[in-house]
Chain A
Amino acid sequence: MSISIQSIHKSFGSYLALDDVSLEVPQGSLTALLGPSGSGKTTLLRIVAGLDFADEGRGKILFHGENVADVPAGERQVGFVFQHYALFRHMTVAENVAFGLNVMPRHRRPSAAEIDERVKELLHLVRLDGLDRRRPHELSGGQRQRVALARALAIRPKVLLLDEPFGALDAQVRKDLRRWLRVFHDQIGLTTLFVTHDQEEALELADQVVVMRQARVEQVGPPQEIFDHPRTPFVYEFLGNVNKIPHANGEVRYVRPHEMEITFAAEYDAARDVLADVTHLFSAGPVASLSLRLGDGSLVEAEISRKQLEELALSVGDRVAVRWP
C-alpha cells in the first residue's frame, strides 16, 4: 500500500515540528527518513501511524489514495516498531506476538490453534525459533527488536513503520540486522518507512531516502542520487565525510574524499592541481585515507586504494599533487 503525505504541519504549542512536509512512499518500497536529532522524524512517523495528529485543516495523509484522517490508529493496519521496542514486559515472547490477534473482535479472531501456528511462523521468520516462552527481559537488544517486529507483523499490516529500529544496538548487531532487514523486506515486499539518523544505514538499506532538517524535507531520492547530487550543503555534510574547499572567488566546493585524486608532486600541473603535504596516513582498512595540508593551510581528507598507496609509496611528510573534479 502506498503512502502519500501531503503538506503536513505539526506544531507543539508555538514550536513547529513539521513544516509543510510532503512525501510519497511508493507501494513496496523501503524508504528511509534520515535527519539529525529533533528534525521531526518520529513526529512524522507517529502521525502516519495515527498516534499523533497533524495540525487541523492543513495537509492530509493518503493510504493507497484514501484519506486516513478519520481512521483511528487501531484500524490503519500499520505495523509500528518503537525505538525502545515497547514490548509488553509481563508477557512472554509468544504472548507479545499474539497480542494483536488476541484483541481482534471475535468474528475476525483466528482460533487459538491458528494463532499458535501464526506465532510460530512469525518467530521463525524473524529467526527467534524456540524463544517463545522467554520474557522480554531475558532477551538481548537485537532479539527484542525482532520480537517487536514479529508482533507488528502479526496483524498483517499494510505498511510497516520502524522508528530507529537499530538505534539502541551495537555496531555489529546493527550491521547484521540491517542486511537481514533488507533481505526480509525483499521477501515480504511490505511498504516500509523507517527512521534513522545514520546516513550509512539509510544509504545502504533504502530504495528511497528522505533527508529531513529542522521540520522540513530537504531532499528526496534514491540513495545514489542523494549521495552523488546533494541538493544543499546540509545534505552534502549530513551524508558524511566531505571536504569543504574554499575557492578564490568565495565559493565553497564540496568534495568527497574518494573524489580526490593524488599523484606524485613531480607530475604537478599548475592548471589543475594543487600541492599538498601528507600529515597523516591511515591504511588499516580496505582503503587508505590520508590527511593533506593544502597550500593555504587547510586540511582535507582523501581516500585512495591500497594498491595506489603502494605505487605512490607515500609516507607522512611527503609532498603530493592533488586534484578534484
Chain B
Amino acid sequence: MKHSVVTQETRVVRWLLIAATLLILGLFLLLPLVAVFIEALRQGWQVFWAALHEDAARSAVGLTIAMAALAVPLNALFGLAAAWAVTKFRFRGRALLITLIDLPFAVSPVVAGVVWILLFSSHGWFGAFLAKHDIAIIFAWPGIMLATLFVTFPFVARELIPLMESQGTDQEEAAVTLGANGWQIFWRVTLPNIKWGLLYGVLLCNARAMGEFGAVSVVSGHIRGETNTLPLHIEVLYNEYQFSAAFACATLLAMLALLTLGLKSAIEHFSGHSGRGH
C-alpha cells in the first residue's frame, strides 16, 4: 500500500514538474515567437509584404546572406584547421590555443566590435594607412564581415574538438600505413568521420552569423540600405516606431531559428544512426 502511495506522489511531482517546464517554455519561448507573427500581421498581409519588399529590407537581407555566405565557410575552414591542429598533434601552447578558441564566447560582442574600431577606424591604429589606400573597413561591409567572423569563430571548432579528440588518430595512422597521402586521408577518413559534427557546427555558426547584433552594430554605422544587416534593420524600424514592419522582418529571423532547429534535430537523428555501435 505504502509503495503505491509513494509512486503516486512521485507521479504527481513528475506531472507538476513537466507542467511547470511546459509553462515556462510556452511563456518565454513559444509566446514571443507567436507574438512576432501576430504583430507582423496585425496590419494585414499587404503591410507585411511591403515591409519585406522595401528596398532597405531587401538590402539588409542581401547583406545578411552575403556576410553569412562568407563567414560560415571561412569559419568552417578555420574551425576544421584549428580542431585538426589541436587534436591530431601535441605541441607546446596547445592548451592555450584551446582556450583562445573560446575567447569570442567569453567576451561581450560589443567589445569585439570596439576592438575593430580601435584598429581600423579613421582614428584607429591603422586608420591613416587605410585612408591613404582608400580602404573602408569600419562602417562598411569588411568591418561587418570581421565582426561576424570573430563572434562565430568558435562554433565549428568547439563542435569538432571533442569529437576528433575521442576518435584519436588510429584511423589516420592506418590510412598512412596503407599509403594514403594527406589529402586522401582528410577526404576519405577524417571528413567522413566528422561530417555530422561539422554540419552541426556550421548550422549553429550560420544561425549566429545571421542573427548577430552587438558586434555588428558597433562597426556597421547603420547606413540604411548599405550597412544594415537584418537584425540592425529591425532595430532601426523599431526605433522609428514602424512596429509592423519591424515584426515583419523579425519573422524572417524567427523562421531561420525554426529552420535551424529542424535541421539540428535532423542531423542529430541521422548522426545518431551512423554512429550506432560506437
Contact = CB atoms under 8 A, between A and B. Distances in A.
Given A103-B188, A138-B277, A86 B179 contact: no
A89 B184 CA distance: 16
Nearest to A80: B177
B123 interface: no
Provide the main secondary structure of the chain B interface. Answer: helix
A76 B188 CA distance: 21
A50 B179 CA distance: 12
A86 B171 contact: yes
Nearest to B170: A86
A231 B42 CA distance: 94
A74 B183 CA distance: 13
A84 B170 CA distance: 8
B179 A80 contact: no
B278 A89 contact: yes
Given A84-B170, A88-B171, A103-B188, A74 B179 contact: yes
Interface in B139-197: 170-171, 173-181, 184, 188-189, 192-193
A145 to B, nearest CB: 13
Contacts of A87: 171, 174
A74 B173 contact: no
A147 to B, nearest CB: 11
B276 interface: yes
B37 to A, nearest CB: 41
A308 B277 CA distance: 52
B274 interface: yes
Interface string A69-92: 000011110111010101111100
B177 A137 contact: no
Which of B174, B181, B193, B278 has the most A CB atoms < 10 Å from its CB?
B174
A151 interface: yes
A260 to B, nearest CB: 46
A103 B179 contact: yes
A207 to B, nearest CB: 24
A99 B173 CA distance: 13
B179 A90 contact: no
B184 A86 contact: no
B173 A100 contact: no
A132 to B, nearest CB: 18
Interface residues of A, number: 28
B174 A86 contact: yes
B176 A73 contact: yes
A261 B274 CA distance: 61
A99 B175 contact: yes
A96 B180 CA distance: 13
B219 to A, nearest CB: 42
Contact of B277 (A79, A100, A137): A137
Interface string A198-226: 00000000000000000000000000000
A99 B170 contact: no
Contacts of A75: 179
A78 B179 CA distance: 9
A51 B180 contact: no
Contacts of B178: 74, 99-100, 103, 151-152, 154-155
B276 A155 contact: no
A276 interface: no
Which of A74, A76, A79 has the most B CB atoms < 10 Å from its CB?
A74
B171 A100 contact: no
A136 to B, nearest CB: 8
A45 to B, nearest CB: 11
Q: Top 7 closest A-B pairs, CB basis? A: A137-B277, A100-B178, A86-B170, A103-B180, A86-B174, A80-B177, A74-B179
26 contacts: A73-B176, A73-B177, A74-B179, A74-B181, A82-B170, A84-B170, A86-B170, A88-B171, A88-B174, A88-B189, A89-B193, A90-B192, A90-B274, A99-B175, A103-B178, A103-B179, A103-B181, A103-B184, A104-B179, A137-B276, A137-B278, A148-B174, A151-B178, A152-B178, A155-B178, A155-B179
Given A103-B178, A137-B277, A155-B179, 18 more contacts: A74-B177, A82-B173, A84-B170, A86-B174, A87-B174, A88-B175, A88-B189, A90-B192, A90-B274, A99-B178, A100-B178, A100-B180, A103-B184, A103-B188, A104-B179, A137-B276, A151-B174, A155-B178
Interface of B: 170-171, 173-181, 184, 188-189, 192-193, 274, 276-278
